[in-house]
Amino acid sequence: MIDVAFFNLIDSDIQIENAIKNIREALANYIEKYKLKALVIGISGGVDSTLCAVLAKKVCEQQRIPLIGRSITIETNSQEEILRSIAIGKQFCHDFQYLDLTETYLVNKKLLAPLDDSKLSKLRQGNMKARMRMMLLYDLAQLHRGIVIATDNFTEYLTGFWTLHGDVGDYAPIIGLWKTEVYKLSNFLLKECNKEQYEALKQAINALPADGLGITNSDYDQLGVKDYFEADKLFLDYFKGNENLENHILIQKYLNSTYKRENPKFLSRNAIIDN
């Protein structure tokens, strides 16, 4: 069962402004506590990584450390995604590069067990891509004495739309936001932007959410919903006790990905020594 705080959706401008302030203050405190020298973030072109970059840029400037961003293409990313990620990275990162790891991926792909055209094979390849990207981001974090920013929101966390030991990161500034709240904060932050930043952020807000793997046209197809507003409502109704939703694709994804949210699963000391 989720924490009761998740039932109180952020809605008004005052709540949104307060959430933005709290996220930034918490990140600043974390940077100061651990004496971090940089933040590293993967820029996908989607609204989540864009929001994280917008939130983090201001904090990094206040802390006088760089926000290092990388857009990392591997085979299945569309040209639209690529161009959008480059625009976002240039506007909201202090150190940004676009990289294409397709050739390296195709070499490493040969190490996998046999693949076919099934959804499972596409997921396996997607996991490898996520882990390859994270190898690069973590190397940058170590080089610059920083950490990697995780970009998942709470809705994606519940659905398992992330890769273990892949796109997880060290610090997750928006993990406490429903996907619909991600859109609310992003739209609110448009007022902070200059013309070029406004256009980049607006493109991310308007983009059709997709995993970049080519499995379906959008996240909505995989979740069995028309949009994330429906997805968040279904989750909230389910957690409030509507057991009739248990067979919905979205809820099944939540139930079937429980092991990911319990990872790593530790065997307790008591279980080891119990007679």
How far is residue 191 from each of residues 24, 53, 188, 197, 199, measured CA to CA in Å? 16, 15, 6, 10, 12
Q: Residue 249: CA atoms inside 13 Å, Cβ hemisphere, count? A: 10
Residue 229, pLDDT above cutoff 80: yes
The pTM of the whole model exceeds 0.75: yes
Residue 275, pLDDT above cutoff 80: no
Q: What is the mean pLDDT of residues 105-129?
A: 93
Q: What is the mean pLDDT of residues 124-133?
A: 94
Which residues in 138-170 are b (16+ Cβ under 10 Å) and which e?
A: eebbeebebbbbbbbbbbbbbbbbbbeebbbbb
Q: What is the mean pLDDT of residues 218-245?
A: 95
pLDDT score, position 1: 65
Enter the tokens of residue 91.
Answer: 């506007």
All domains in the chain, ordered by first residue: 4-214 (3.40.50.620)
Q: Mean pLDDT over all residues of the chain?
A: 95
pLDDT digits (tens, 9 = 90+) for 161-215: 899 999 899 999 999 999 999 999 999 999 999 999 999 999 999 999 987 666 6
pLDDT score, position 218: 86
Q: What percent of the chain has pLDDT over 90?
A: 89
pLDDT score, position 76: 85
pLDDT score, position 173: 98
- The DSSP-derived string for the chain is ---GGGGS---SHHHHHHHHHHHHHHHHHHHHHTT---EEEE--SSHHHHHHHHHHHHHHHHHT--EEEEEEE-SS--HHHHHHHHHHHHHH-SEEEEEE-HHHHHHHHTTSSP--SSHHHHHHHHHHHHHHHHHHHHHHHHHTT-EEBP---HHHHHHT-S-TTSTT-SB-TTTTS-HHHHHHHHHHHGGG--HHHHHHHHHHHHSPP--SSSSSSSHHHHHTSSSHHHHHHHHHHHHTT-GGGTTSHHHHHHHHTHHHHT-S-PPPHHHHH--
Phi-psi region of 108 (alpha: psi -120 to 50; beta: other; left: phi over 0): alpha
Do residues 235 and 254 touch, judged by C-beta distance below 8 A? yes
pLDDT band at 274 (very low <50, low <70, confident <90, very high): confident
As a residue count, the chain comes to: 275
Distance between CA 228 and CA 226 in Å, rounded? 7
